Structure 1
Amino acid sequence: MLNNKTIGVVIPCYNEATQITMVLDSMPDFVDRIIIVDDVSKDQTVEVVIKYLKNNTSALKLTSNLQKEIVPTIYNRADIEVHQKNIEELKRFPPIEILNKNPEEEKIIVIKHLKNGGVGAAVATGYKWCKDHDIDCAVVMNGDGQMDPNELESICNPVVKEEIDYVKGNRLIHKSAWVIIPRVRFLGNSVLSILTKVVSGYWGISDTQSGYTAMSNHALNSIPLYNIYKRYGMPNDVLVKLNIAFCTIREVKIKPVYGVGEQSKLNVIKVSFPILFLLIRCFFKRLHTKYLIRSFHPLFLLYWISFIIGIINMYFLYHLLVNFFIPDSKTPTDYLIIFIFLTISGFQSLLFAMWMDIQDNERLSQ
């Protein structure tokens, strides 16, 4: 425990038989539960973890809140509905098997996916376990050893001491980042971070692809865990869901860790376009849900005005370019005037919308 708050560490695993023991050996004593989620590994990951389960008894007993019964009164119908929803949403997660003999009293919980779902699905399964067992702070650490357990306390402290909803590590602000992180990944991460600022509404963040994070129990209960993006765009999707739920966020500096025996499973080209499409979809989801349905804001109109003007302006841009490249043709003056007017108007609408977006979300970055 930290500050009398329970700490659960979710470790998604896929073919981490050579690394997972190192991660478990270095786990700090204040961690109350370690939730290993194996996503149908093809190596001996599960077998290695099972061998590690000797002397796995924990002094802290945790029971699932799904098992409790709520006595109906005239005032608690809402509580009963939420409880029933938490039970029913189990069907929306990948099918699992818990390999522990006595999970209520064991520190390391081993959950095995019966069907491969992706890293996001594995994290969501771990989050669901933490949510159902009322864990106060759910941390995500990869099973490949690229996250320093010595930094775990600094990741958790804003959650357990200051009630921040979501804390994420930031490697890009560490002074060694440009040297340690491979250049392609550094540049790709920086581009995705810029795009995710706009998409998520958390304009003060960077290193959005960092998976070293801590989430409060309030945040776990505020977002649809079963709907978290299943693949490598999961951190971006989670940020958008948190913003829609008005959750507070903070970044802490962490060191980049490479060369500890990990084997990258990330194909940059393969995941780039799916993440790009995810970001576009998430942006419009946030715009529609947060600024139209839940609470109308003028920035919703300004964003859409800029988009519509941009689409219309493509027509005039096309004709201007055609006339420019065709010999002996003249660019219609009225087309040029309209194009300039629409460009200025659309750009102004976009800037005002972004400025309002920054102002509205500034209170969430703490």
Structure 2
Amino acid sequence: MRGMYRKLETAVVIPCYNEEKMITKTIKKLPKYIDHVIAVNDASTDDTIRVLNKLKKQNDRLIVVDNETNQGVGGALIAGYNYAIEHTKATAIGIVAGDDQFDSSYLEAMLDDFIDQSADYVKASRFFHREAFKTMPKYRQFGNIFISLLTKFSTGYYSITDITNGCGWLRRDIIEKVDFSIVEKRYDYETSMLTALSIVNAKVIDHAVPAHYGDEKSTIKLIPTAWRNLKAVWKGFWRRIYYKYVLYGFHPVALFLFTGMFFLIISLLIAGFLLCVKLFAHQSPTAGSVMLAVLPFVLSVQLVLTALTIDVSNESNNFKK
């Protein structure tokens, strides 16, 4: 092999969409020990494919995959994973953004964690450094904190931070287990990918990496992206609950959660009925009838909180030993 790292064959996947200005810098910064560099051109409308083909002539480890239609960052990464699985023997498959916003010099330390801690996925996190929030634009701070908080419930990885940073190393055999039909292909890829990893009990750890934004301006729109992520988080949460706590073996988490939701619905129906009586029949509800709505609500809150408490305590069980 060209390089190999600690007897481990490696490949790095780089999703590229309109990265003609940044992709050369990104690829040239990659460490020499990486055996395969798989750049996926996601139907770019600029000269990205021409730049990649030119670089390929100068770099024998560079492989160019050209998507005929734009599939989003998730779709590009999945295409890269599939190529790495089918055409290489790489055990560790890395993810690096094509916009030079990730310092690839940290890949080595992350790979050490990947090997030494027997992780299935080592991901970069900018939130371990005190300076991260000082250099990060304010709208990114808000978006990352908000989405990270919600994603903890969606994925079950409560100790993982910086959810939207997907750069890192994935283990080959865990990629082969992931059901990519439940992984979103656009900017909410990271959230849904973590949910899919949780379903197959992947061990995921963070590695501290300073924030680095390069020269490119982000084109992500906060509100549409946040709305997409909210939908992905909601869908991912129920999908994880179903697979982990119902389909693969009924668990008390599912019992408490579903029972709590049942009592919540009962409470809302009774409250709605009492409100209609008040508005249309002009009859004030008695203390007893009010309690009929309050008691199921209190019980539902207790049951849901119990389910979430057990889920949080089970985080270590999500990790494959």
What is the TM-score normalised by the length of structure 1?
0.81
Q: 1:164, 1:249 within 8 Å by CA — same for their partners in 2? A: yes
* Structure 1 residue 144, shift from structure 2 partner: 0.4
**One-letter code aligned to 2:91:** D
Say whether 1:292 aligns with 2:246.
yes
Q: Deviations over 1:78-101 (max 9, x none)?
A: xxxxxxxxxxxxxxxxxxxxxxxx
Rate the CA distance shift 1:325–1:2 in 2: closer, same or farther, 3 A: farther
Distance 1:325 1:28 in 2: 70
* Structure 1 residue 245, shift from structure 2 partner: 0.4
Among candidates 74, 78, 81, match of residue 127 of structure 1: 81
Among candidates 38, 42, 47, match of residue 39 of structure 1: 42
Distance 1:108 1:324 in 2: 71
Match of 2:51 in 1: 48
Distance 1:311 1:241 in 2: 29
Q: 2:107, 2:168 within 8 Å by CA — same for their partners in 1? A: no
Match of 1:28 in 2: 31
* Structure 1 residue 160, shift from structure 2 partner: 2.7
Q: Deviations over 1:163-220 (max 9, x none)?
A: 2101111112221122111112111111111111111111111211112121111211
Moved over 4 A (4+): 319-326
Distance 1:11 1:28 in 2: 14
Match of 1:362 in 2: 316
Q: Deviations over 1:289-309 (max 9, x none)?
A: 111111221111111111222
Distance 1:329 1:177 in 2: 58
Among candidates 132, 155, 173, match of residue 218 of structure 1: 173
Say whether 1:228 aligns with 2:183.
yes
Distance 1:28 1:304 in 2: 49
**One-letter code aligned to 1:130:** A
Match of 2:207 in 1: 252
Distance 2:149 2:274 in 1: 31
Q: 1:141, 1:147 within 8 Å by CA — same for their partners in 2? A: yes
**One-letter code aligned to 1:218:** D
Moved more, 137-146 or 354-363: 354-363
Match of 1:14 in 2: 17
Q: 1:250, 1:365 within 8 Å by CA — same for their partners in 2? A: no
**One-letter code aligned to 1:289:** Y
**One-letter code aligned to 1:256:** A
Among candidates 98, 101, 104, match of residue 149 of structure 1: 104
Distance 1:13 1:55 in 2: 19
Match of 1:353 in 2: 307
Q: 1:248, 1:365 within 8 Å by CA — same for their partners in 2? A: yes
* Structure 1 residue 325, shift from structure 2 partner: 8.9
Moved more, 237-246 or 304-313: 304-313
Match of 2:196 in 1: 241
Three-state SS of the structure 1 residue aligned to 2:173 is helix
**Aligned residues: percent identity?**
27
Rate the CA distance shift 1:228–1:165 in 2: closer, same or farther, 3 A: same
Q: 1:137, 1:215 within 8 Å by CA — same for their partners in 2? A: yes
Three-state SS of the structure 2 residue aligned to 1:195 is helix
Distance 2:135 2:227 in 1: 26
Rate the CA distance shift 1:2–1:324 in 2: closer, same or farther, 3 A: farther
Match of 1:62 in 2: none
Moved more, 142-151 or 180-189: 180-189
Match of 2:150 in 1: 195
Distance 1:325 1:262 in 2: 57
Distance 1:261 1:176 in 2: 19
5+ long unaligned stretches in structure 1: 58-106
Three-state SS of the structure 1 residue aligned to 2:40 is strand
Distance 1:311 1:188 in 2: 31
Aligned Cα RMSD in Å? Answer: 2.1
Three-state SS of the structure 1 residue aligned to 2:163 is coil
Say whether 1:304 aligns with 2:258.
yes
Three-state SS of the structure 2 residue aligned to 1:172 is helix
Match of 2:286 in 1: 332
Three-state SS of the structure 1 residue aligned to 2:127 is coil
Distance 1:340 1:273 in 2: 32
5+ long unaligned stretches in structure 2: none
Match of 1:281 in 2: 235
Q: 1:163, 1:216 within 8 Å by CA — same for their partners in 2? A: no
Distance 1:346 1:202 in 2: 24
Q: Deviations over 1:79-138 (max 9, x none)?
A: xxxxxxxxxxxxxxxxxxxxxxxxxxxx10000001111111001111111222231111
* Structure 1 residue 345, shift from structure 2 partner: 0.8
Three-state SS of the structure 2 residue aligned to 1:134 is coil
